[in-house]
Amino acid sequence: MESKTFDVVIIGAGAAGLMAALEIVLTGKSVAVIEAKEKAGGRIFTFHNDDGYPVELGAEFVHGNLPITKELLKKAGIKITPVRGSIWQYKDGRLAEQEDFIDDYSDLEKKFKELSQDIPVAEFLSAHLAGAKYEELRFSLKNYVEGYYAADLNRASTFSLRNELAKSDDEQYRIEGGYLQLVNHLEQRCKENGVQFYFSQAVLQLHWKKSNVEAVTVQNSVRAKKALITVSVGVLQNGGIEFFPALPEKKLAAQNLGFGHVVKTILSFDDAFWKDKELTAGKDLTDLNFLFSMEQIPTWWTQHPKKQAILVGWLGGPRADVFDTVNKENVIQKALYSLSQIFNIDVLQLSQKLKSGQMHNWSADLHFCGAYSYEVVNGKGFMQTVLQPVDGTVYFAGEGLHHGPEIGTVEAALNSGREVAYQLIANF
């Protein structure tokens, strides 16, 4: 057992935990961070492929001009590159270019105006966008909500979709050298200021009474005056940490929040075969960015404007939750099969071009139990219940507990970590 009593113990060294640790330690408080994985970052999970190129199995994009992310990138001297290129869809055996993620926005805007109260997106599609006229729009919206939000259409909030689409012309960026650079910067600053890290230790139990907590792992037990829990909403939903005394209202409220599923596949090829016009019926996909389809792995993107011959496959939403990923090679085969359909290329020929394949099923990883949060109808009240500190002693933060529109992002995690850290400091 660690003999020292810290001012604060933080559980989880993802973006929220690191941001909070830094803010708290900078006020002179002693901070311990306990992390289940062997390194920091959580759902920021960059690795280098055989060519040494950084690819992302977790967060990949900076969605717009986000204040905290930009502030940190600037401080760390890390560069970003705008994401550019064309958007395509493969449907009914044909490749066709789209102008944007949602082409028919003006029609949709009118339909949004018909809504006086929030309803699930599935209900919106059937009640407000029925019939052949809107088939294309329903296809794009379903792809967007299941893919981008990783959400269940039967629960996702239409108001939140409306708000998201209204600002979706924001520029997207990638971080040069990978998202992990941001994590390394935060971790280094935490260490320089004396934060004590415990890696490869999952907290199993948190014992608490006013101004006194004990976080118990298999190897260790860390005492502090306050605890900040930054594990994912999925871990809270599944009772990944046992509280003594129990906090059943937190678990129940978390279970009412939306937490989506994603299987992400990264395939590195010998050459960027999608630029070969013979495979695309003469269509020019040289600047391909995103491609949407109805295949088993439906959404694909490139690293454009970077030249790497990499395709990222994405399966999001409820289908990802039930997708069999026990055998990685099977998933890679399914991904190749999806591409072989889209590009009308023999799957064997495609496998011969494959240099390496990676896959991560975030729902099957017990330290996450899913990918990221999305807004459900009337979800704010449940979020508030989870956020409410317990007896000025146990606090909660993380991407899914962020009030703003960036829920489900790194920015949301940073924001939540910082905001709850301020609240916790003020309560000492």
Report, in Å, the least distance between residue 153 CB and ligand FAD. 19
262 binds ligand FAD (CB under 6 A): yes
Candidate segments 55-63, 111-119, 266-274, 297-305, binder of ligand FAD by CB under 6 A = 55-63
Window contacting ligand FAD (CB under 6 A); options: 10-18, 184-192, 218-226, 242-250:
10-18
Query: What is the smallest separation between the CB atom of 365 and ligand FAD, expressed in angstroms?
Result: 8
Nearer to ligand FAD, 320 or 345 (CB): 320
Shortest Å, Cβ 209 to ligand FAD: 20
Nearer to ligand FAD, 111 or 226 (CB): 226
Site for ligand FAD in 370-389 (CB under 6 A): 371-372
Told to check if 225 binds ligand FAD by CB under 6 A, we report: no
Interface with ligand FAD, residue 21, by CB under 6 A: no
| Residue 338 φ/ψ, nearest 5 degrees | -60, -45
Contact between 395 and ligand FAD (CB under 6 A)? no
Cis peptide before 305 (omega within 30 of 0): yes
The owner of tokens 């708000």 is 163
**In angstroms, what is the minimal distance from the CB of 307 to ligand FAD?**
21
153 is a site residue for ligand FAD (CB under 6 A)? no
- Nearer Cβ to ligand FAD (124/396): 396
Give the interface with ligand FAD as residue ranges (CB under 6 A): 11-17, 34-37, 42-44, 58-61, 63, 202-203, 230-232, 235, 240-241, 262, 264, 362, 367-368, 371-372, 398-399, 408-413
